[in-house]
Amino acid sequence: MSRKRNQGSKWITKSKRWAIYFRDNCECVYCGRSLNDGAILTLDHIVPCEALPKPDNRHTNLVTACLSCNSSKNDKTLEEYFSYLRALGASDKKIIKINNKINRARAGRDSRTRSNNSLYFNGYMKKAKLFLQQQ
């Protein structure tokens, strides 16, 4: 069993989890399926927990992934996962699209706002907290 699974659900707050989902438009960065498409959203560690002495749980290392993509990425590095997707027939265009979404998450900014990393994420934290209050 991987260390990621052993972390359970207590490793991240609900609001931080939802802030990341909102940042990524509630869509899997790998296949593009969303909550509306019936995808079960999870958080994927871009640099897998297994690759580090201690898991990197910062928002810049976390992206929204559906359960199915997260299971297939598992403990692969991004490069390993791209090779795996290519072997399954993914086009260069698709890989580039995924890579762009991941770079945006890593940088903590997008082309629309160009704002400071923490300010940018704080906006999503506010949105997530409001959303959770309404649940």
Where do the H-state alpha helices sit in the chain?
3-6, 14-23, 67-73, 78-87, 92-107, 117-133
CB 30 to Zn ion: min, Å: 5
Separation CA 18–CA 120 (nearest Å)? 14
CB 68 to Zn ion: min, Å: 6
Q: Which is nearer to Zn ion, 52 or 67 (CB)?
A: 67
CB 101 to Zn ion: min, Å: 11
Binding positions for Zn ion, rule: CB under 5 A: 28, 30-31, 66, 69
Q: Which is nearer to Zn ion, 31 or 105 (CB)?
A: 31
Q: Which is nearer to Zn ion, 69 or 128 (CB)?
A: 69
